[in-house]
């Protein structure tokens, strides 16, 4: 059970820290300059953890297995982070921006899962889409 729960707990904790940090980037600082520091720290932490968690670490072997995904993931992460920083600067509340993006993402990923990974679209998912859309209306209702 722990193996099932800890990754989600890590994502929730990390995403909470991420949102607080993205909201706390100084207004006068260029978001891309902030991200350069972010990725430098991320690279150092990733490299350190790679060698700590792998007894027979062989980074060259790992790099030979690269495909397109890590490169596109890097671009996507920059888009995510810059998007949130600018959303917060535009006035989005930290409690609302994440919910709105997550609800929209949930709906989109149902169709991505169906189209790319042949995941079933069930009645539960359709009801979930309706609830997400209703939630978006309610959370943005003034």
What does the domain layout of the chain look like in residue ranges? 1-91, 93-142
Provide the whole-model pTM.
0.85
What DSSP line would sit under the chain, residue for residue? -HHHHHHHHHHHHHHHHHHHHHHHS-TTS-HHHHHHHHHHHHHHHHHHHHHHH-TT--HHHHHHT--SHHHHHHHHHHHHHHHHHHHHHTT--HHHHHHHHHHHHHHHHHHHHHHHH-----HHHHHHHHHHHHHHHHHH--
pLDDT at residue 141 in the model: 81
- Percent of the chain predicted with pLDDT > 70: 100
For the chain, give the mean pLDDT.
93
Q: What is the pLDDT of residues 7-45, one digit of tens each?
A: 999 999 999 999 999 999 999 999 999 999 999 999 999
């Amino acid at each position: 059970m722990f193996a099932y729960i800890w990754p989600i707990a890590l994502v929730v904790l990390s995403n909470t820290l991420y949102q607080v940090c993205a909201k706390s980037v100084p207004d006068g600082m260029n978001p891309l300059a902030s991200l350069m520091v972010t990725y430098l720290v991320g690279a150092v932490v990733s490299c350190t953890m790679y060698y700590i968690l792998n007894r027979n670490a062989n980074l060259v072997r790992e790099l030979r297995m690269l495909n397109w995904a890590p490169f596109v993931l890097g671009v996507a992460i920059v888009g995510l982070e810059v998007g949130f920083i600018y959303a917060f600067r535009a006035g989005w509340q930290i409690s609302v921006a994440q919910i709105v993006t997550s609800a929209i993402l949930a709906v989109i990923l149902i169709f991505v899962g169906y189209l790319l990974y042949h995941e079933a679209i069930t009645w539960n998912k359709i009801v979930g889409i309706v609830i997400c859309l209703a939630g978006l209306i309610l959370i943005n209702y003034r």
